A and B are shown apart, each in its own frame.
Chain A
Amino acid sequence: MNTSSTSSHTNQASSIDSVKLKQALLTRSRPKKANWFSNTMTFSWRALLKLKYIPEQLLDVTVFPIMFLLMFTYLFGGAIAGSTGDYLQFLLPGILVMTVITITMYTGMELNNDISKGIFDRFRSLPIWRPSVLVGALFVDAVRYSIASLIMIGLGLILGFRPDGGTIGVISAVGLLLLFSFSLSWIWTTLGLVLRSEKSLMGVSMMVLFPLTFISNVFVDPSTLPSWLQAFVDINPVSLLVTAVRGLMHGVATTEQIGVVIIASLLLILVFAPLTMFLYKNKN
């Protein structure tokens, strides 16, 4: 109530300045149309401003990774690998993938939020490169994923994570993860346009993400699984990504492993980016 009373006070003090208004309306010159890149950067700026106002948005890329890494390393380490130190070498790349993949779903929620407010219509009625609304936000998401990766790898190093792939291996692993996450986000933007509320979007996202991340090779070596489950794990895109990221970090990734992830990413973009834009254009 505090805010509303101050704002109504402001309202009383302010009024329209008709002279200035007339002046402002006289300026009819339209600047040269901004290009797609400028549009995208402007939307990135918007997303960054939101981080400034709502810094708790960063919890999922700061506290979560730390929590996950500590939790799973010490919970499963002894049981699965005999020692937490050995397990960390195996787990860290996997848990990194899981964390980043899970936070991709916020992209869809942000869009869904825009739709339920009126600003979605405002953006759609502007003469701009339409995908920029989403691509701009996705760029800032990539920054968020990078923060999560940095924190998790930093903590891992302190705990005893020793990647054989060296700095280059780790950086290319994170790069591959960012590419896949960017691609995966288009699924959430599609769903964000289809589903009616943030809650239903959250529900559906969890339903998809939970099995994909857990029934994978993030936590355990799939060879210990029953054959039918192993079959799923082997084709699970998250497993493929984890294999490539783990391989890159430890310097044993094959071109094929990396290629599969790149192709999967491109396929995701090819299918879901146009689908998102179609739904965006035709949203009632």
Chain B
Amino acid sequence: MTSKSVKESEPVSVAIARKGNLSNKSTEDTTNMESSIKQPTKLAIEATGLVKVFGEKRAVDGVDLAIKAGTVYGFLGPNGAGKTTTIRMLSTLLNPDEGTAIILGHDLNKESNAIRSKVSLTGQFASVDEDLSGLENLILIGRLLGFSRKAAKERARELLSAFGLEDAAKQQVKNYSGGMRRRLDIAASIVVTPELLFLDEPTTGLDPRSRNQVWDIVRALVSAGTTVLLTTQYLDEADQLADRIAVIDHGKIIAEGTSAELKASVGSGVLHVRVLDPEKRSKAQLILAQKLKVPIQALSEPTALTARVTDTQLVAEAIGELSHSGIAVTDFSLGQPSLDEVFLTLTGKPAESKRKQDEKGV
């Protein structure tokens, strides 16, 4: 495992310029921001063969990236896949062992100072000072970036009120809720609006309401012309926010594309159906298989059926057909494929067991 010269799994790069998709993710009001928006073809990040080795482990194992300026790029993967390590390299916190990257036109290996003055990082753990108040935290960052005392204070106030933290401005951050802390954290990253923002698992551990707020912030940032690279464990989040998604596992990108492209390869979702009468389950299985044209699995539970569906349009019809045939359905749901299902499809193994096998050296 010392050196891997041949890459076993080339990323499924789809290099077609994407159109249309961005406009419905970002808000329409971009007229005032023309000057700040990058040329659509310009790359914010261009990385080739990034490698980081910790002891025996190749945490990042040959990552190539081409991220267009002004878009949201999502890194999707389980814990320990190499997401954070990649972000830490790209934000100049870690030196790559191999590989190069051009960030906003600057060489990562040579011009880390220039890069630091254009990018911001919001780490996985709240990167604010818990002992200070929210206001003081933002003033601190503002002063460090060169604002005068007055300007730093004004900017801090402006951001606190935009992020709904005005009331808590003078409270110590240790008394903030998780969602407030995360918002302050992001606010600290945009004291000077960066050209490129790294967000490491911005919504992990947040309640749905706070999560939606973070999503709103990301959307606002992109519409203001900032490129965002975010990591997430949730397919749903990547789907909501990212223009393009890279699925990363074991330090390698195992698939890359738009959300639609990824889903097409995984299937749109999973259908769970429960019938009232276990006797009728096999008949239901037959009907569903006919209608959906996919294999239907009978689970160990005597009334449950499940299927991975590609065409969600057919689901309503299929459920209707069941009731026409006199089969009572107590419960059905159509869910998005989970990260595990994405992994199952892309790698043939679930994320967890696959990792365990690798740890044993298989």
Contact = CB atoms under 8 A, between A and B. Distances in A.
Interface stretch (A20-28, A86-94, A141-149): A20-28
A118 B127 contact: yes
B17 interface: no
Contacts of B140: 42, 45-46
Interface residues of B, number: 71
B172 to A, nearest CB: 6
B177 interface: yes
B216 A119 contact: no
B180 A46 contact: no
Interface string B78-103: 00000000001001111100000000
Contact of B93 (A6, A50, A125): A125
B216 A25 contact: no
Contacts of B127: 117-122
Interface string B113-131: 1001101110111111111
Interface in A173-232: none
Contacts of A20: 158, 161-162
A27 B177 contact: no
B175 interface: yes
B183 interface: yes
Contacts of A30: 117, 145-146, 192
Contacts of A17: 161-164
Given A16-B213, A26-B32, A119 B128 contact: yes
Given A10-B168, A21-B163, A122 B116 contact: no
A54 interface: yes
A11 to B, nearest CB: 5
B151 A31 contact: yes
Contacts of B95: 282
A284 interface: yes
B136 interface: yes
From B29, B94, B175, B177, residue with most partner A Cβ within 10 Å: B177
B144 interface: yes
Interface string B170-182: 0110111101100
A-side binding surface: helix, strand, loop or mixed?
Answer: helix
A25 B193 contact: yes
Interface stretch (A33-41, A154-162, A264-272): A33-41
A113 B101 CA distance: 32
Contacts of A23: 158, 162
A142 to B, nearest CB: 20
Interface string A4-20: 10111011011111101
B166 interface: yes
A49 interface: yes
A127 interface: yes
B221 interface: yes
Interface of B: 29, 32-33, 36, 54, 88, 91-95, 113, 116-117, 119-121, 123-132, 136, 140-141, 143-148, 151, 155, 158-159, 161-168, 171-172, 174-177, 179-180, 183, 188, 190, 192-193, 210, 213, 216-217, 220-221, 223-226
What are the 4 tightest A-B residue pairs by CB atom distance, in nearest-first order? A14-B164, A118-B127, A127-B117, A118-B125
16 contacts: A7-B176, A10-B171, A16-B183, A18-B216, A21-B216, A22-B29, A24-B193, A25-B190, A27-B158, A30-B117, A42-B140, A50-B132, A118-B125, A122-B127, A127-B113, A128-B145
